[in-house]
Every structure is written in structure tokens, then in C-alpha cells.
Amino acid sequence: MQGGASDIELSLRGLKQARRIAKALSEERMDAIYSSPLKRAYNTAEIIAAPHGLKVRAEREFREIEAGELEGVTFEHMIKRYSSFWEEWSRGNPEICFPGGGESLVQLQERAWKAFTPILNEYSQGAVVIVTHFYPLLVVVLSALNIPLSKVMRLGQDRGAINTLEFEGGRAKLIRLNDTCHLEGI
């Protein structure tokens, strides 16, 4: 998995995307901003937070899924060398762990939701931005909507996309998913 839990810098393209996200959200209410501590997410969050004068709060539990031996491995290499893992993963088994000490979707959901719940409680009447990665984002969305983790492969998520959930009376409503309109021309 390229990127993964590796702490790589924000690319030039990522920097352009972050600036576009910040512009798209500049007029939106924002009471707090949280981020994965990984540089590419944290730097994106800082850019988004700047127009609002907010300080980014790093949350370790929002880091990307631990990919074990697949960290930094290309998709093609993974398919060849770890075909049995990929077959099981593609079938939607949320309990299968990435080989070599990696996490499962169930484990990721537990840690991400554990961090998300107190934020939701603290800002029940507020607006919070969370900058995270592909799998943590998707497991939180699925959890909030009470959709089984086995459906994760049915969702797409582009880098730099904006997603919006609203919570009322303990129920989540998906307002926006994988919105990339602000990234046109990059």
C-alpha cells in the first residue's frame, strides 16, 4: 500500500489539493479541526484551519490502517505475492488482518471510532473537520451510518475529497460523499 501508515510529506499535488479544500471550506462554520498525526494529513489540516484561526489537534487513532508487510508495496506486487490475502480482503472480510502484523478493518474501526465518539459528544452542536486517510474515513462513515464493514470495498474515496456527516438525535445523515468539485483542474 503506497502511503499507508508511512509518515510521508505532502506532495506538490497534495499541497494544491489542500489549498483548494481550504478555499472550499473557508466560508463554512468550523469549531474544531482534528487530524491524523501523519505529516500529509496534519499539513493539510493546518492549511484548512488557517482561515478559521484554529489550531489542529492531532489524534493518533485517525492514522491510516497498519498495512504490515504491505506498507509501501505497490498494488501489482501485492496481487502477485499476497493473492490469498487480496482475495479474502476483496470479498469484504473485515476481520482479516494485513499480513505481517497489520490491522484488520474491525481493529481500525475500534480505534477510529474510539477517537471519534468523544469529539462527536463534545461538539454535538458544532462543526468539526477531521482530516484523515482512506480507510479510517470509510470505517467512520460506515460506522456512523450503521453499514457493515464488509461493504467498505463498495465505496470510493479520492484524495482531497470532502465528506459531510450530520448528526441529530444520535443518528447520522450522509450529506456529501467523495465530493471533488473543488479539485477541478488539478
Can you give the pLDDT of all 186 residues of the chain as single tens digits?
A: 445 667 888 999 999 999 999 999 999 999 999 999 999 999 999 999 999 999 999 999 999 999 999 998 898 999 999 999 999 998 999 999 999 999 999 999 999 999 999 999 999 999 999 999 999 999 999 999 999 999 998 998 999 999 999 999 889 999 999 999 999 999
Q: Is 124 exposed, middle or buried (0-12, 13-18, 19+ CB in 10 A)?
A: exposed
CATH of the domain at 64: 3.40.50.1240
**Which pLDDT belongs to residue 4?**
61
What pLDDT is stored for residue 8 in this prediction? 80
Residue 22 lies in a domain: yes
pLDDT of residue 132: 97
How many CB atoms lie under 10 A from the CB of residue 74? 11
For residue 103, give the amino acid letter: E
**Rounded to whole angstroms, how far apart are CA atoms 76 and 150?**
23
Assigned domain for 2 exists: no
- The reported pLDDT for the residue numbered 1 is 44
Based on the structure, what is the number of domains in the chain?
Answer: 1
The confidence score (pLDDT) of residue 14 equals 96
Enclosing domain of residue 77? 12-183
Q: Whole-model pTM?
A: 0.92
Report how far residue 50's alpha carbon sits from residue 34's, in angstroms, rounded to the nearest whole number: 13
